[in-house]
Structure 1
Amino acid sequence: MDVLNASPVLCLPQAMWLVYRVVMAKPDLGRDEILDLVTPEAMRAGSSQQGAHARRALAGLREFGLVREDTDGLYRADEVKDAYEFLRLLRRRLVLPPEEVGKNFQGAPDLRSALVWLMREPPMVPLHYAVNVQTNMPEGLFTNDTRWNGFRWWSQALGFGQAALRILAVDGDSKAKIVPDPTVAVIDAIRSPFGDALPRGEQIPIDSLLEFLRFELPVLPGHPSATYPGFVDDGKLAIAALGLALSSAEQRQILTMGYQSDPSGVLALPDAQNFRTDRYVSNVTIKERRP
């Protein structure tokens, strides 16, 4: 499913959560009954495309396997405790290589390709479609600014991007820009992994953390599936955005990073404290989570 294609409207994670809540709270309803609860008929005249956002959201939930339709045309969804858990499930479905989810699963190839691209962009430069995206992106990644705007919302909702600071505005427009920043996704992966959790309170090699994060978030550079149509491997592993996320996680006391002599592996990260210098990291300690 091409979620960035606004035909007839964009498929948006916010609308998907709203529809998911209805299916979760009111099991065994049909499609029309669900849509009537999300966008009552009396409201549709004032909504975009007669409630098309809700219809597209429900179609997306089915496409990504987050809601199920039985043979009687009734819908069901697994129980989640809040929007964070829902976004965690949605993120997982969309960043995994489709073949790892299921034989006939297609996912959202346009969104996944865009996330792979975003994670290789430097976080120091705010991205604006007309200024530095349209001219620098791989051909066909975003065919127009509507798809770019849809991607901005998706990247922020899934924890891979942040709105650019107002001081970085291009021609006074700060709303249309994002910076690559997977801090939210990285911290969420550490706290609530789908695979084995990292050990707490003990030093682990930085390579072990990177392997863990690439398993949890396989759109990060270095994962074999982190590619897209038009990708050219220049031999350089772009880790600036991931480095920002690790530095941010350290500032939030999720982990500490250190360096010891004669390490088996070293990662040079852009230093968050000293601009234009590298910080060398050989080990990481994941802190115990506070109650």
Structure 2
Amino acid sequence: MAYLNPTQTARPDFTWPVFRFMAGQRRSLPQTKVLAFTAPDSLDDGTLDVVMALKTLRELGFLTSAGSGEETIWSLAATGQGIAVDDYELFQRRLRSALFVRSDAQKWDLADGVAEDLCRALCWFLRSDPHADPFKWETAQQEQGEDTIFSNDTRWGAFQSWGAATGFTASAPQIGGTCIADCTTAIRQTIEDLLEPRQQVDALAVLRELRRILPALPGGELSEHFGFLNESELEVGPALSFALRRGEIEGWLKLEQRSDATTQIKLFNPDSDFSLLCSTVQRMEVARD
């Protein structure tokens, strides 16, 4: 389905609440009961949104169904198993994995059941600089040129919702209706999965793993699949550099440059024409609220 077309796919604003309800039930439910609790009569047009959310969750592997129409029976599928009703971060992790599934070792399965339009838009947007002016619809129109990533402002609005839900974008602070390529949430969650607290790893190895797990990043295979080629494996790019440097500022990451290092990745530096060099990455243990 076209994930940036709201007439075909539900936005995350509905998919997460509907999934939470199903996760809390821990059993199969008929569609009529799901609708009764998640789209009561007091919500005028909620029924269609919930049905679309159910179908989107099924496509992503969070839910499974049997039957059709109002007689459809909905259950948690493999991707949805084990997610607590308040564990939105685990939901985000599995959402990204579902979007970036591959059919085999050679080909991205983007034609059947995977969000090609959303993936392409993410690959395009993650090449932008979070330090620059935040994107509005007018900015997106101007920057996309002849690529036609977004054919109208409705698709741009859907992208903002999906970008935030996957942890790849964020709204500019104190500026409503804007979007920047702040992928810090996706990077932090992935770093937490990759490294143990206090573990220090070669920076290039971490960069390769980030691109493997999050292939929409510049230099990742999915990004290159859409023709967005990276200058060099060592070039990190503005968006990923922003996330890594923000991790250091927030205290959950430590970036170091060792004089005896054999390889160094090049972080984008908005304040200079020269890159910031990094040879090791260390995950720091930070207390959560």
Structure 1 stretches of 4+ moved >6 Å = 100-104
Identify the match of residue 92 of structure 1 among 87, 97, 104. 97
Unaligned runs of 5+ residues in structure 2 are none
SS at match of 1:179: coil
- Aligned counterpart, 1:162: 170
1:53 aligned onto 2:49: yes
**Alpha-carbon distance in 2 for matches of 1:33, 1:199:** 43
**Alpha-carbon distance in 2 for matches of 1:120, 1:61:** 28
Identity %: 26
Residue by residue over 1:4-48, the C-alpha shift from the partner in whole angstroms, topping out at 9 and shown as x without a partner, is: 10216x6111211111122223322122321222102x224x33x
Residue by residue over 1:224-243, the C-alpha shift from the partner in whole angstroms, topping out at 9 and shown as x without a partner, is: 222465x3537465611000
Q: Say if 2:18 and 2:50, in contact at 8 Å, map to a contact too.
A: yes
Q: Say if 1:3 and 1:108, in contact at 8 Å, map to a contact too.
A: yes
Pairs within 5 Å for 1:228-267: 229=226, 231-233=227-229, 235=231, 239-267=237-265
1:32 aligned onto 2:32: yes
Which amino acid in structure 2 is aligned with residue 239 of structure 1?
G
Unaligned runs of 5+ residues in structure 1 are 167-173
With normalisation by structure 1, the TM-score equals 0.83
- Aligned counterpart, 1:4: 4
Residue by residue over 1:33-84, the C-alpha shift from the partner in whole angstroms, topping out at 9 and shown as x without a partner, is: 21222102x224x33xx53221111110011111011468422112312222
**Alpha-carbon distance in 2 for matches of 1:105, 1:203:** 39
**Alpha-carbon distance in 2 for matches of 1:246, 1:234:** 18
- Aligned counterpart, 1:74: 73
- Aligned counterpart, 1:143: 151
**Alpha-carbon distance in 1 for matches of 2:199, 2:230:** 35
Pairs within 5 Å for 1:114-125: 114-125=121-132
Q: Say if 1:98 and 1:106, in contact at 8 Å, map to a contact too.
A: no
- Residue 264 and residue 235 in structure 1: after superposition, are their counterparts in 2 closer, same or farther (change >3 A)? same
Aligned-residue RMSD, C-alpha: 2.7
Pairs within 5 Å for 1:133-282: 133-137=140-144, 139-166=147-174, 174-191=175-192, 193=193, 197-227=194-224, 229=226, 231-233=227-229, 235=231, 239-271=237-269, 274=271, 277-282=274-279
Q: How far did residue 96 of structure 1 move?
A: 3.7
Q: How far did residue 276 of structure 1 move?
A: 5.5
With normalisation by structure 2, the TM-score equals 0.83
- Residue 221 and residue 98 in structure 1: after superposition, are their counterparts in 2 closer, same or farther (change >3 A)? farther
**Alpha-carbon distance in 2 for matches of 1:271, 1:31:** 52
**Alpha-carbon distance in 2 for matches of 1:207, 1:217:** 15
Which amino acid in structure 2 is aligned with residue 184 of structure 1?
T
Which amino acid in structure 2 is aligned with residue 79 of structure 1?
G
- Residue 238 and residue 214 in structure 1: after superposition, are their counterparts in 2 closer, same or farther (change >3 A)? closer
Paired residues, what number? 272
Q: Say if 1:24 and 1:76, in contact at 8 Å, map to a contact too.
A: no
Q: Say if 2:123 and 2:216, in contact at 8 Å, map to a contact too.
A: yes
